[in-house]
């Protein structure tokens, strides 16, 4: 049995007992490790302490129940999540989701990107083989882009369709790449932003993705394309190595593990995918690729 298999045994035990007391000794015993060794390896592999992961999963489960069952009471959620009081539960919930349980429920919206997803084997393998767990923090000057876009549903929604619509968008864009004049470099860029809706609330079910090239000026924009300006901002850039269908794991790690444990906050603004010239067009269609995934930061 590999180390990843042992970690997964511990995770399965956690999932089966989220509403019960979960001492590290019990989880480690199921995994076949000493408590010290299990917790050390768990954090090294996932970026979370065991306590952080368990609390995050409990809060996420509580949020799902609050949205899915109108009769489920907040006081019940606090005890199911193993908090000593409703007040302690409310404080932890607000830290994770940005608002109190009552307000979260009343808005009747999908879970925000900081939700703690359940670890699986493919995700663990990607963390260890295809992702820089500590991103490069960098200041990027204003970027002028020209490209085409499409609306899609993000990875934190059960209706996610990004793996279908985004590769097709890249296929169409690459065929027209030579039409773009005044290119500033040989890279191509993916831009993820919120799609304007009548609601003031952002949702992972209302996102827009643009396939772009960087330009020096916005003169002579090809028909059917549009200009996009990404303002100067600080970004956390994760190096992604893997297939198109593994991008969701990079995004989940960035938002579900790294960001909550960092000293940074995600600010309003577009996310960037930066593909170097050396990457073939097949990268956008699902084959092996290497690029930077960057999220805008503030403190």
Q: Is residue 128 part of a domain?
A: no
196 part of a folded domain? yes
- The verdict on residue 130 lying in a domain is no
Domain count, the chain: 2
Q: Count H helices, E strands: the chain?
A: 11, 9
Cα dist from 60 to 18, 73, 134, whole Å: 11, 15, 24
Q: Is the dihedral of CA 29, 32, 33, 38 positive or negative?
A: negative
Q: Are residues 235 and 160 in the same domain?
A: yes
Where residue 39 sits, what CATH number does that domain have?
Answer: 1.10.10.60
Q: What is the CATH number of the domain that holds 243?
A: 3.20.80.10
Q: Is residue 198 over pLDDT 60?
A: no
Residues 101, 168, single domain; the answer is no
Cα-flanking dihedrals φ and ψ of residue 51, to 5°? -65, -45
Q: Does residue 124 sit within a domain?
A: no
The string of pLDDT tens digits covering residues 79-133 is 999 999 999 999 999 888 888 999 888 876 554 445 677 787 787 777 767 677 7
Whether 121 is covered by a domain: the verdict is no
159 in a structural domain: yes
Question: How confident is the model at residue 197, as a pLDDT?
Answer: 47
Query: Which of 62, 81, 116 is the C-terminal boundary of a domain?
Result: 116
pLDDT exceeding 70 applies to what percent of the chain? Answer: 87
Distances (CA, A) of 212 to 153, 190, 202, 274: 19, 6, 23, 10
Domain that holds residue 227: 136-298
Q: pLDDT (tens digit, 9 = 90+) per residue, 235-254?
A: 999 998 877 777 878 887 88
- Matching residue, tokens 């390896």: 41
pLDDT number for residue 142: 95
Q: Check: CB of residue 10 under 8 Å from CB of residue 42.
A: yes
């Amino acid at each position: 049995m590999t180390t990843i298999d042992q970690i997964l045994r511990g995770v399965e035990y956690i999932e089966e007992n989220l509403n019960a007391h979960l001492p590290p000794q019990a989880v480690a015993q199921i995994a076949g490790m000493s408590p010290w060794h299990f917790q050390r390896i768990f954090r090294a592999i996932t970026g979370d302490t065991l306590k952080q992961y368990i609390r995050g999963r409990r809060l996420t489960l509580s949020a799902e129940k609050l949205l899915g069952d109108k009769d489920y009471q907040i006081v019940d959620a606090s005890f199911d999540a193993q908090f000593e009081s409703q007040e302690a539960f409310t404080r932890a919930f607000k830290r994770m989701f940005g608002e109190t349980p009552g307000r979260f429920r009343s808005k009747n919206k999908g879970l925000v990107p900081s939700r703690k997803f359940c670890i699986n084997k493919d995700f663990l393998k990607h963390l260890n083989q295809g992702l820089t767990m500590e991103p490069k923090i960098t200041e990027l000057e204003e970027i002028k882009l020209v490209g085409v876009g499409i609306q899609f549903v993000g990875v934190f929604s059960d209706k996610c369709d990004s793996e279908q619509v985004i590769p097709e968008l890249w296929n169409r864009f690459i065929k027209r790449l030579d039409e773009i004049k005044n290119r500033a470099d040989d890279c191509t860029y993916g831009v993820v932003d919120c799609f304007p809706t009548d609601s003031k609330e952002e949702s992972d079910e209302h996102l827009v993705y643009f396939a772009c090239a960087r330009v020096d000026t916005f003169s002579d924009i090809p028909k059917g394309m549009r200009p996009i300006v990404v303002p100067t901002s600080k970004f956390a850039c994760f190096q992604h190595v893997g297939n198109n269908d593994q991008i969701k794991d990079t995004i989940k790690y960035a938002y579900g593990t790294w960001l909550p444990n960092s000293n940074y906050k995600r600010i309003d603004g577009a996310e960037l995918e930066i593909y170097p010239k050396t990457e073939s067009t097949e990268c956008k269609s699902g084959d092996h690729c290497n690029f930077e995934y960057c999220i805008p930061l503030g403190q």
